[in-house]
Structure 1
Amino acid sequence: MRAPEFWGRGGGIWPLLLRPAAAAYARATARRVSQPGWKAPVPVICCGGATAGGAGKTTLALEAGRRLAERGLSPHFLLRGYGGSLKGPVRVDPAEHDSNKVGDEALLLAALAPTWVSADRAEGARHAVQAGAGVIIMDDGLQNPTLEKSLALLTIDGSYGFGNGHVIPAGPLREPVALVAARCQAAVLVGEDETGALATLPPELPVLRASLVPGPEMEELRGGSVFAFCGIGNPRKFFNTLRTGGAVLAGSEAFADHYPFDASDLRRLLAEADKLSAIPVTTRKDWVRIPVDFRSQVKVVSVSLQWEDEAAFDALLRGCGATAPAAI
């Protein structure tokens, strides 16, 4: 899906025309999230968002999983598996499953810790607990009430914020900001607040700030000419990451989020990179959707979070009960 342009900060006449449909969507969401969910016997951390599309949820989930694993816990990831055909519950096996079966985010998470795809989040959580999960980390799911959360984090893309501030289909919001924020213990702002999103949050909601930093792959690209392509929620974030990392962006192409690349796409993209005498690069999330025969020809640049206050994030993890055994 590629978000309509009017979902951005402007909007024009369309948000007004779609206001009745947006009100109906918001009411349906409010009814759904008011339902009680299953309380798991282990902490459940939800890295969710208020908008449709990417906000850095998977990156935040990976960050939480890495920190908890380092402390001796056994984190398991849980997600719907957007873009995949399997409804689950199923434990992701990268040797058996591809993005067509479980979605791209599931493959990224499975590289770090056991990962479960399940349309029914509560059922997926039960399978994770039975398999030994010490803590469950949900990638998305703030609007899914079937599983009670111990810690709910509202992830915000600083460059996009809440778009035009309207609910689907008039805008990108899954529900009004005030309602989703009321169910969260903190917000995580990724990047600078370019749209004034923080001003719309309840003043009592803690806000943690982080920035995206490129992985070690950036070293070999620094100072070089690259041709970047990606199909993520906010392609501009990836392109800016390459620039700030020191690469020279000779060209770029953005695709719809979760775009299913095929062989003809890759042949065209590689030809464009060759014409520009540039190295073809993409995100880790896109790379897992590239046909296997082309993966060796495309460089990957991963990203991670750099915290303004690292201790504050650790305190949130401890506060929800996600702590290591006393002997560790």
Structure 2
Amino acid sequence: MEDNALLKVENLKKYFPIKAGIMQKTVGNVKAVDDISFELKKGETLGLVGESGCGKSTTGRTILRLLERSEGKVIFEGKDIFELSKSELRSIRPKMQMIFQDPYSSLNPRLSVGELVGESLLDHGIATKDEIPDLVAETLERSGLAAYHMKRYPHEFSGGQRQRIGIARALILNPSFIVADEPVSALDVSIQSQIINLMTDLQQERGFSYLFISHDLSVVKHISHRVGVMYLGSMVELAPKKELYDNPLHPYTKALLSAVPVPDPTLKRERILLKGDIPSPANPPSGCKFHTRCPYAMEKCSKQIPVYKNVGNEHWVACHLVD
């Protein structure tokens, strides 16, 4: 593993069993995450994109061990988190935090903002009751809120303010790794830019790493250093941001990028419309999972799984067209 690699995901799989019959026997599996591998460097943002249901959020939750793996390794700061005992896992929890997609449902409506943001400090024994108010006030102010917001409750805030509370709650433990699961998808465009700029500023100050999960490629382009593209639980392409946006190699990535709006009305981008529906992750196609919708599919695409390989410039892709 590289010296500056904070996180290493190796052949990670997360399957959900399908039960049927009176005896509730397992008759199949939903392959939500199906053999993905990547590294995340210190201070880096890795964007993870793909259509709804491709396994992005499940990947983030499994990496944090909010879900147990089916197979594979998640090595964080040199330790496989799935090999850790409960006490060992608890000791590294402050370093691995999550910003949830829905800022309202992730906040307990019965707790004040001060309690929501400060409770984890007490749980992990990081600060005493007397120290917490000052730490919470400082963190709220750094997250774009005010100290007097501590006494208010989640329903008294707008969507953007609630997301700032979620950021403050993750930030107060001084983590080195944050999974941001669609953190701006529910917000207005003007608020989205404020939150993205806040997250970028905080990263430059604190030096932590993000796994930034989103379906919005324009947002991902703004915040990420590298971008990974997922389809039906598998990583089909991974490259530095400029390399991926300027030179996409996988047909699925090309189709996603063709749908991104162009700000200049005089420029017209040719849309690539994919045929058919997304196959079920419970019964994915043989060979390349994308071949049923790919405009360039060849005979071997339906029979042979493409090798996920580095084609140069740290550009990884799994496609027979690149062979």
Q: TM-score, normalised by structure 1?
A: 0.30
Larger Rg: 2
Structure with bigger strand share is: 2
**TM-score of the pair, normalised by structure 2:** 0.30
